[in-house]
């Protein structure tokens, strides 16, 4: 995998088709687990996938087959990659030979603690434990482990085979060595890991999109816009802007020659008033609000099969990633 600067968009290179990684156990194969499995296989890894559901094997293989063309479009060699896959209904078998365990179970604290205790019973003593949890802190998950130093959160943004970000969130007892190993591993998979400096429920990306969703629901509830119009506004404005620079860079540029200082000088009062307004207008997902949203969605993009929407999303996302990479490569060549 070619190296990238900290500011470059993550984009995979071509897989060599041979593994330089320990066997990976993927525990739990829903949408996230299947996506991880496909990405690991495309990078030449040996993968043991665990899911106790009766239809797991067929579902996993079907999911990987659907993802493979998108990985191929990103430069991976996907031919025969399933030959490196083993599917298990027994957790002990799945994790016994693994050097890395990527867990993707339900977002329930009791389940997380239970599954990690079971994993620890059968995994190698030096295996790295990574959770895809979108909200539960590593300290909470690792409470029942004999060796919590090797456990941390590696939270991807859906779908993991495509979106570069992984939030690496260590617990209070996670070792620095485990954090370094996690970062190195995710980078080798073509991901863009960012280590969080403090534990916080929901981590960072989900808190940001949760805040945006809360205000989006509020605007639809008030009748200011429909769900379609809200999406149209985002994709034609801040969606494009934030694809090339996050909020702080964007607002820095919004301040003109003085940068963020100029932005604050001009807009601090307006921002404070807006934030005060947002704080006093709570929004909850009541039955009536859910019915309103679901009704509008059913009459619009909800009529299109989810698989078709996913394929459209993935194709657009790959095009955006390609455009960003090529633009920045050209920019470096002009220096």
How do the pLDDT tens digits run along the chain, 335 residues long? 333 333 444 455 444 344 467 899 999 999 999 999 999 999 999 999 999 999 999 999 999 999 999 999 999 999 999 999 999 999 999 999 999 999 999 999 999 999 999 999 999 999 999 999 999 999 999 999 999 999 999 999 999 999 999 999 999 999 999 999 999 999 999 999 999 999 999 999 999 999 999 999 999 999 999 999 999 999 999 999 998 888 999 989 888 999 999 988 999 999 898 888 887 777 888 999 999 999 999 999 999 998 898 888 888 888 888 888 777 766 666 65
What predicted TM-score, i.e. pTM, was given to this entire model? Answer: 0.86
75: left (phi over 0), alpha (psi -120 to 50) or beta: left
Architecture of the domain spanning 205-303:
Orthogonal Bundle (1.10)
Domain extent listing, the chain: 24-195, 205-303
- Give yes or no for a contact between 104 and 29, defined as CB atoms under 8 angstroms apart: yes
Q: What is the CATH number of domain 24-195?
A: 3.40.50.720
* Nearest-angstrom CA–CA distance, 185 and 100: 9
């Amino acid at each position: 995998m070619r190296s990238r600067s900290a500011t470059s968009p993550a984009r995979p290179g071509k897989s060599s088709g041979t593994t330089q990684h320990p066997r990976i156990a993927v525990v739990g194969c829903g949408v996230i687990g299947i996506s991880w499995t496909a990405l690991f296989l495309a990078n030449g890894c040996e993968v043991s996938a665990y899911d106790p559901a009766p239809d797991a094997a067929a579902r996993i293989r079907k999911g990987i087959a659907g993802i493979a063309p998108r990985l191929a479009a990103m430069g991976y060699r996907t031919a025969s990659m399933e030959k490196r896959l083993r599917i298990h209904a027994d957790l002990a078998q799945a994790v016994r030979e693994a050097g890395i365990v990527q867990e993707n179970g339900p977002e329930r604290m009791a389940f997380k603690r239970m599954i990690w205790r079971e994993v620890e019973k059968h995994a190698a003593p030096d295996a790295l434990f990574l959770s895809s949890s979108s909200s539960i802190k590593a300290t909470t998950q690792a409470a029942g482990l004999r060796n919590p130093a090797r456990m941390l959160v590696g939270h991807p943004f859906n779908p993991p085979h495509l979106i570069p970000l992984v939030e690496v969130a260590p617990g209070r007892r996670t070792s620095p060595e485990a954090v370094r190993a996690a970062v190195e591993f995710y980078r080798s998979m073509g991901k863009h890991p960012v280590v969080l400096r403090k534990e916080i429920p929901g981590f960072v990306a989900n808190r940001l999109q949760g805040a945006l969703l809360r205000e989006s629901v509020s605007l639809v509830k008030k009748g200011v816009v429909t769900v379609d119009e809200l999406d149209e506004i985002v994709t034609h404005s801040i969606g494009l802007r934030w694809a090339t620079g996050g909020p702080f860079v964007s607002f820095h540029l919004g301040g003109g020659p003085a940068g963020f200082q100029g932005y604050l000088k001009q807009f601090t009062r307006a921002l404070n008033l807006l934030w005060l307004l947002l704080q006093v207008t709570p929004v909850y997902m009541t039955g009536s609000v859910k019915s309103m949203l679901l009704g509008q969605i059913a009459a619009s993009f909800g009529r299109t099969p989810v698989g078709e929407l996913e394929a459209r999303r993935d194709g657009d996302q790959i095009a955006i990633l390609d455009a960003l990479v090529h633009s920045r490569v050209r920019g470096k060549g002009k220096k």
